[in-house]
Amino acid sequence: MSWPSRRARTFPHGVHPPEEKQFARDVPIEVVPTPAAVAIPLLQHLGAPCQAVVASRATVALGDVVGRAEAPVSAPVHASIAGVVQRESVATLPNGRHVTTVPIKAAGEQLEGQALYDAHFGGDWPLAGLDEIAPAEIVAAAGEAGLVGMGGAAFPTHVKLAPGPRRPVDTVLVNGCECEPYLTADERLMREAALPVLVGAKLVARAVGAKRIVVGIEANKPEAIAEMRRVAPELGIEVGVVATKYPQGAEKQLVYALLQRIVPGGKLPLDVGVVVSNVATAAALARAVLRGAPLTHRVMTVAGHGVREPKNLLVPIGLRLSEAIEAAGGLTDDAARVIAGGPMMGFSVAYLDAPVTKGTSGLTVLAARDLDAEPERACVRCGRCVDVCPMGLLPTRIALAARYGEWELAGSYHARLCVECGCCAFACPSRLPLVQLIRVAKARLAKMTA
């Protein structure tokens, strides 16, 4: 394979925030003990919400379906512990959305500890015969298992794996960049479970008919790169090292960095012959196809100066965020802010009873010394937000239009193309709430279109 020059293995613009990976990158994945109860949100994905298919006081086993939707763009949800279903409730997710949940009170024998870890990542993973599995079987398994993109987008995986003949796919990119500061769950997954990740990548390629598979990993993860390169040749998979820059893990930026293909505005990687899968999603696909296991748990990071024992945790979906923090030693005395996700794209959490969802990649817990107390000032027209925007937008123009309710003007500046990466706000010397204003504009434009 002929790689482009090292200089070319990145994308235009972007920023270099402090990486802060030292908190948990060398902490092995730890299994959280079975909680007393979980609350399974019926909407954890992009698309139609599920409806509960179990009644209150019903007994469920680990992996039983508890919610399903008839819409094609959706994903079923499953019980993450064995127990008794409680009356439906409502939870507020970190993004502010109110969703219906199916609470389950733990009861009976539970799969936990090393047995749970081995069920996810251990044991034998067959390398032979993967090319004999029918693509339709892979797509069906992903749908039944409730797989979604676990890098944050939460797009139903079975839909992505069935692109149709009009958009042929030649390359699968496995996204191992994990460019958000503090988060190290994907890095630990590549270091501890390289084989299921790569087997899952082969299954993605089989489903979409791609002949080439490339794993993209940022250069600041040398141990993960070494482990993936140790295993990848057996499966005919390439490992490409990309520059450490934010947001290197964004789909369009990764496609450009590794393949030098430009995904046009308003289009998807699929439109240039590429399917992108997060490493956690690939591992989950391997479990779904080869072990018939639904998505009931995920690996997440809890890190930052505001938590006592930063860790990478294997947690059940529906676990309360407060319990994930407790598993990491609890909050420090000077803890000041909890962010669901990383500090660049995450949401500040005011409600620690919110449940972990399929898309919860981690919790960043900041101490008082981490917070920027500078007040917002007037825009000085410095252009730094324009210089760093990976999508080539004019963030201040969009934000100004949103601030004054000029929604059509915001649309004319292509507000819909914003990926909300936060580069503009990070670079802004005036501390303008650019991302928040652009989010408002996108929401209003979507409502107007609907």
**Rounded CA separation 199/231 (Å):** 10
| Domain range annotation of the chain | 34-111, 115-291, 384-449
Token code pair at residue 411: 């649309």
- Residue keyed to tokens 């997710």: 93
- Residue keyed to tokens 């009170």: 105
Token code pair at residue 130: 């993967």
Token code pair at residue 81: 């512990």
**Rounded CA separation 9/2 (Å):** 12
Residue type, 438: I
Mean pLDDT by groups of 10 residues along the chain of 450 residues: 53 96 97 97 92 96 96 94 97 90 97 96 92 96 96 88 89 97 98 97 97 97 96 95 96 95 92 96 97 97 98 98 98 96 93 94 96 88 96 96 96 96 96 95 91
Instruction: Judge contact between 71 and 48, C-beta under 8 A.
Output: yes
Token code pair at residue 332: 């420090």
Strand order through the sheet with 212-218: 238-242, 212-218, 171-175, 274-278
Given CATH 3.40.50.11540, say whether it is the number of domain 115-291: yes
Do you find a cis peptide bond into 28, omega within 30 degrees of 0?
A: no
State residue 4's pLDDT score.
Answer: 43
Token code pair at residue 153: 């987008």
Do you find a cis peptide bond into 72, omega within 30 degrees of 0?
A: no
Instruction: Judge contact between 301 and 197, C-beta under 8 A.
Output: no
State residue 2's pLDDT score.
Answer: 39
**Strand 335-340 with 362-367, pairing:** antiparallel
Structure confidence by residue, pLDDT tens digits, 55-114 = 999 999 999 999 999 888 999 999 999 999 999 999 999 888 899 999 999 999 999 999
CA distance from start to end of the chain: 46
Nearest CA to 265 among 376, 143, 419? 419
State residue 406's pLDDT score.
Answer: 96
pTM of the model: 0.94
State residue 90's pLDDT score.
Answer: 95
Count CB atoms within 10 A of the CB of residue 234. Answer: 10
Strand order through the sheet with 77-78: 51-52, 65-68, 77-78
Which uninterrupted H or E stretch holds 41? strand 37-41
Nearest CA to 72 among 161, 156, 15? 156
How far is residue 383 from each of residues 176, 358, 386, measured CA to CA in Å?
31, 37, 5
Nearest CA to 157 among 263, 254, 75, 63? 75
Tally of residues, the chain: 450
